[in-house]
Chains A and B, each alone.
Chain A
């Protein structure tokens, strides 16, 4: 089985979010980057398929050279090959199109992407890849088993979950549940040393087509301070929620 894991390079979850150039660009100053958490759950599940079922695991990132440390980390965790599409990820469609083009030539049985990146939160790249490849697609996956060419998948739905069966090739949008938080791997020294020798292939974008353009950012207006209610005066809280906030 050939697996392709799509990796997005995103600001650490604790990053301060600021913008520069007249609020047009995310300010990378002082920000450290990580594997997008939703992607990391998928990558870790892919490692399981590699170890238990002999799958090969490639990773792909659309980005400029500064994303390579995150890609090397994926190799240190255990991915076999890395592919970087050398371009700024302009929008979701642009990214999906690059990945679909590479996947088409690569003959992958399974493509794992995170449900969404924690920076732009578009949540459409996995589905667009599937649409462009005309492959089966299951989103918000919290469990994935593969037997031969059949995948059994549990998907999170609003208020519960759903078990689905699909044939490969399959694209999934993954999230926590594919593996547990405690299953995530911190690369060891041997992994890090080996990752330096693993292939990281740089390819040029296959198209420059985009569908959207960013028109600037803003931040939520600062919040007023909290109204504290005495623990012995619950009636006041109910009154405030009823009359002031009008939510009960």
Chain B
């Protein structure tokens, strides 16, 4: 009864999240006295998973899975889970993994726990801690089915090296043609996404208009960060909806979240609360964000941010 992970890849390369999922799975497997098997789909560097505690890699090369399709990917992972007779399947919290998790759940008659933030407090019964009420609370959830699916929150556990001798095996699956087809993909390839980012730089109404967004973008560039915005900013059309973070937008669980000109409405704070370190820059010392932040500067973004960019450039150059 081993632990299986789906090691997500993009353009043939494993995503950063795959190593975090592998590390988490190693922790679960150790607690269960078991080992980690990974299933990778059309990844060219699947062997790297051994560095993060994976003992066996099932490598699928299949043209029918060249682009993500939830049903086909779920079928492939289910086939691997059945072959290995696994008890726990571990996925990331990426958009694709969250898309396929419930399909996989039905396929394997497995329960699903999403947004999981820590190793199981017990493996028999199997109990995990997950966020609920949009990060305002944690829930301990007991998974009662024979097979269990866990979606780990990004950046919650981190990637930990644990070099393991990993065997690599080709795994063949038959994928039926689906009725959902991808027509086109519109993705900025030169920018880090909010889901994958270690750092997120986010702007609010305090920036006064979309023409000032170069401040956010320049700061993000220095930090290798993703850009985000508050709800009013996306509602006014200053920025695309895909950048809206908060309760009804995207959740953020970065290591560093920098909020510029965002007052910190409860719905916004809920969405970004899982970020580890929060920095706020705002002219209003009474802004609620100061109560939620770790570091704050009371000041005008138009003066503070250019200085910050300059100083960070110098810091990066020196280090």
Contacts and interface: CB of A to CB of B under 8 A. Distances in A.
Nearest to B312: A238
Given A139-B70, A231-B298, A166 B181 contact: yes
Interface stretch (B57-65, B128-136, B157-165, B208-216): B128-136
Interface in A162-188: 162-167, 173, 175-177, 180-182
The range of chain B's interface size is 35 or more
B6 interface: no
A93 B111 contact: yes
A172 B229 CA distance: 26
Interface string B24-66: 0000000000000000000000000000000000000000000
A44 B100 CA distance: 26
B180 A164 contact: yes
Given A137-B180, A157-B95, A38 B248 contact: yes
Given A164-B183, A165-B180, A217 B138 contact: yes
Contact of A166 (B130, B179, B186, B241): B179
A111 B277 CA distance: 40
Contacts of B303: 231
B138 A219 contact: yes
Interface string B176-199: 001111111111100111111011
A124 B179 contact: no
A204 interface: no
Nearest to B138: A218
Given A131-B103, A136-B179, A220-B138, A228 B311 contact: no
Which applies to chain A's interface (DSSP): helix, strand, loop or mixed?
A: mixed
A238 B311 contact: yes
A155 B67 CA distance: 14
A130 interface: yes
A14 B266 contact: yes
A140 B95 CA distance: 8
Contacts, number: 261
A213 B142 contact: yes
B256 A247 contact: yes
B274 to A, nearest CB: 9
Interface stretch (A53-61, A68-76, A114-122): A114-122
A30 to B, nearest CB: 15
B266 A160 contact: no
Contacts of B70: 127, 137, 139
Given A159-B187, A211-B144, A231 B297 contact: yes
B137 A218 contact: yes
Contact of A121 (B111, B132, B182, B195): B132
B71 to A, nearest CB: 7
Given A128-B106, A217-B138, A247-B255, 17 more contacts: A13-B267, A118-B247, A124-B114, A136-B71, A136-B180, A137-B71, A137-B103, A157-B185, A158-B95, A163-B184, A176-B244, A216-B140, A218-B140, A231-B304, A234-B297, A242-B315, A247-B277
Interface of A: 11, 13-14, 17, 19, 26, 37-38, 91-93, 96, 118-128, 130-132, 136-140, 142, 152, 155-167, 173, 175-177, 180-182, 210-220, 223-224, 226-231, 234-235, 237-238, 240-242, 245, 247-248
Interface of B: 70-71, 94-96, 98-103, 105-107, 110-115, 127, 130-145, 178-188, 191-196, 198-199, 223, 231, 235, 241-242, 244, 247-249, 255-256, 266-267, 270, 273, 276-277, 279-280, 290-300, 303-304, 307-308, 311-312, 315
19 contacts: A118-B247, A124-B112, A125-B102, A131-B102, A139-B70, A155-B95, A158-B193, A160-B185, A165-B181, A176-B241, A176-B244, A210-B144, A212-B141, A212-B143, A214-B142, A220-B137, A223-B292, A228-B297, A229-B295
